[in-house]
Structure 1
Amino acid sequence: MALRMAITAEPIPSHVSALDHVIRPAREQGHHVALHASGMFRRDARRRGVEFHGAGTNWTCDPTVQRTVSAIWSGSGNAVFNRYVFGHLWPEQAEAKARDLLTAWTRERPDLVVAECGDHGAHLAARILGLPLLAADNGLGPLLLDLWETDIAPALSPLCERYELDAPTLPAMLTPAPVEWFYRTPPPSARAVRRTVAEYRTVLPEWLDRSPSSRPLVYVSLGTLTTAMSGLRTVVESAYREIMAALSGIGCDVIVSAGDLAERLRGADPRVTVVEHVPQPALLRRADLFVTHGGRASLLDAVQGATPVLGMGVLADQPDNTASFARRGLGRALDIGAARDQIADAVTDLLGTARYGAAMSAADAALSQLPPLDFAELRESVRPGAVGASPSYGI
């Protein structure tokens, strides 16, 4: 049976890509898929062949928001940043997003809602309308669980009371990796499912689809969010320069994907190519090493390319992610402020030690063995929530 599926995302540049493990199989199974998100994702929906409906605002692009959170990260560290951003700012946006979704879903009621795990407005709207609801873990699941009782639930409680709902709850999650890879204490409500990426991201552009040289290929990307935040650009640009300086003394070819910083980083070294964007999953099947900020999607792209990583986590879940991968032997982790000699030593070790590649190949095999999503089965296993009643999830 074909379902009308509503998928939601919050306005972070990479977050629709992080939902491809839901979007692609839903389309392949013949379901009607609509993405409900802010206007910044209209093009992403078109590329994936799904319907688009505007919901919420591009609030993360507000210069005041960016300056504030950058100052908190720079002055007080990542833990305080996480508490402010995910425990305060994200719940604060929930009501506006919920209003847009209530209008859309009252007009055309979906059979199943799969909302980004941090999209509290979508969770609220689904509960008010009694819609079957699942959360798609985009990497923030562990942070949300850590902050739930102390920060997020108290922030959402007044909204739930206003709509005569019971206490806020985090929906059961679909996570596209073995749960123990990223969760210190695996939550019973998380189901590990097979990971897929958008088809267009699996094809190399013509300039990259060429015979490889005899030198190893190192791919460098520190993500999209940090380069878009004015207060973090200086830190990230400095990190890129240290990485590029370290790699210039090693016999390798380098591709750097640096978003808005690309023009500032281009230089004369013919072995270093600096671009704004590349189809990362496709490139990582060619690369020998990935220097990354450690976002969840980027690390899983590396696993599926069997490419060891040098993780340099910046903010949010990234430092914990890179530390987890290092513990599992899938690469190494350094601080974002690491000096070029430290980076060069780590890169030399990673390129010269076979066990990292072997560990990544084993991780790729484990990832490929996860069960595929069956949305018709999921729809039957989720009991819709209702106003004034606590939803029960059968996963």
Structure 2
Amino acid sequence: MRLLLTGLPIPSHLLPVLVPLARAAREAGHETAIATGTAMAGELERLGVPVVVLPDVLAPGELGRRPELVDPSLVRRLRNWRPEVSGPLDLPLFHATMTAEFAANVVGAGWRPDVIVRETNAFGGLVAAEVLGVPSAVVDIAPSVPPLVPGLAGRLDVLRQGFGPAPSGAVADRLTAGLLPEPWYPAGLRTPGHRYYRVPEAPVPPPAAGPVVLAAFGSNVRSLLAADSRLTAITVAALGLLGKPAVMALGSDDAVASWTGPRPGNVELAGFVPQRALLAASDVFVTHAGFGSVRESLSAGVPMVAVPLFADQPANAARVHELGAGVRLDAAGLTAEGLAAAVERVLGEPAYRSAAREFRDGVTALPPITDFVRHLEA
């Protein structure tokens, strides 16, 4: 089997799941490569995974090379985005031109697969599979995204038609690899082709003296915030009000060195942190509710205070709240006192930890994502 995995050139979209899946397929004797943009090609090659480079597929930091692809109103909003004032940022989750270019790059790459497996956001991989006449599957790293794209099925059909005559019927994946147990998925998101897996990760020992509370807003947030945003300072101040051991991940060592905000004695300010290791020693996770962070928190059995900031995060945070594994807090109007009270609530009510631990047990019982290769073979 020739297996082509497709994903946007963003580390969190490729490294946690597609790389181990590619390695497992190669170990099973299948010719396998990952198709993505230039920005991630070197990293994937260093990890020993063959790459099909898609020259027109850009990473978020490369969009300045093609300003015609970026909505000027979005640029203006980004310059002034202070989530503690205006709330979550409305980012587009589908771009027709970029999706069509992704599909065209895959079709024209000269690497003819028997099966295409895409990560959720790589809609161009799905269109390419339809154009090439091969089956496709999806590794669902962002299950809340597709329902948030208005008229997605019709828009994908329009793009497919741009490549010429194609089989009738809607563009669709045959298999879906979910990365949390079935209860995470509302009934409307479950399909006959749904399977559920855990991300295989090497065990990490918890630190000798871990935090009671871990706070982290992901790797992309810092670059999006306006210079005068107080989101991080509010969060650090809230952790200080708790008076309990806490760690705040600022996103880079430079951010720690240049920090001029509050420095409570009980709060350790860090750049990048070993999130999985710290979660193993945490009682509550203050998070932006990116799906990767939610998955890691539930896999560790740690309840959350979710402060969603953009993209699918509000939907993820709402699901955390619905399932009783944490509380959702609005970013607009966020105060240190309000955030501290939410953390205290999650710490004080055992039901939140029980719900998170139930998910942890469910994750542990799932087969590893590497088993997905057998389903693709079938």
Per the normalisation by structure 2, the TM-score is 0.82
Residues 1-395 of structure 1: pairs in structure 2 closer than 5 A? 3-17=1-15, 19-20=17-18, 22-23=21-22, 25-26=24-25, 29=28, 31-42=30-41, 44-46=43-45, 48-55=47-54, 56-61=56-61, 62-63=63-64, 64=67, 65=70, 68-69=73-74, 71=76, 81=90, 85-87=92-94, 89=95, 91-104=96-109, 106=110, 108-139=111-142, 141-147=143-149, 150-151=151-152, 153-154=154-155, 156-165=157-166, 166=168, 168-172=170-174, 173-183=176-186, 185-197=188-200, 199=202, 203=204, 210-212=207-209, 216-229=211-224, 232-234=225-227, 237-260=229-252, 261-265=255-259, 268-337=263-332, 338-373=334-369, 374-381=371-378
Q: More deviation in 217-226 or 255-264? A: 255-264
Q: More deviation in 319-328 or 294-303? A: 319-328
Work out the CA distance in 2 between the residues paired with 1:186 and 1:296.
Answer: 15
Return closer, same or farther for 1:291/1:78 CA change in 2, 3 Å cut-off: closer
What's the CA shift for 1:334?
0.4
Q: More deviation in 363-372 or 313-322? A: 363-372
Return closer, same or farther for 1:23/1:162 CA change in 2, 3 Å cut-off: closer
What's the CA shift for 1:131?
2.4
Contiguous gaps of at least 5 residues in structure 1: 382-395
Return closer, same or farther for 1:345/1:146 CA change in 2, 3 Å cut-off: closer
Work out the CA distance in 2 between the residues paired with 1:218 and 1:72.
Answer: 31
SS at match of 2:44: helix
Over 6 Å off, 4+ runs? 77-80
Work out the CA distance in 2 between the residues paired with 1:302 and 1:211.
Answer: 19
Return closer, same or farther for 1:196/1:271 CA change in 2, 3 Å cut-off: same
What's the CA shift for 1:293?
0.4
Report sequence identity in percent.
Answer: 23
Return closer, same or farther for 1:24/1:66 CA change in 2, 3 Å cut-off: farther
Aligned residues: 360
SS at match of 1:118: coil
Return closer, same or farther for 1:136/1:271 CA change in 2, 3 Å cut-off: same
Return closer, same or farther for 1:121/1:307 CA change in 2, 3 Å cut-off: same
Q: Check the 8 A contact 2:241/2:337 in 1, yes or no.
A: no
Work out the CA distance in 2 between the residues paired with 1:191 and 1:42.
Answer: 30
Per the normalisation by structure 1, the TM-score is 0.79
Work out the CA distance in 1 between the residues paired with 2:357 and 2:159.
Answer: 48
Return closer, same or farther for 1:255/1:233 CA change in 2, 3 Å cut-off: farther
Q: Check the 8 A contact 1:6/1:33 in 2, yes or no.
A: yes
Work out the CA distance in 2 between the residues paired with 1:272 and 1:233.
Answer: 24
Q: More deviation in 318-327 or 150-159? A: 150-159
Question: Alignment RMSD, CA only?
Answer: 3.3
Give, as a single letter, the amino acid of the residue that structure 2 aligns with 1:52: V
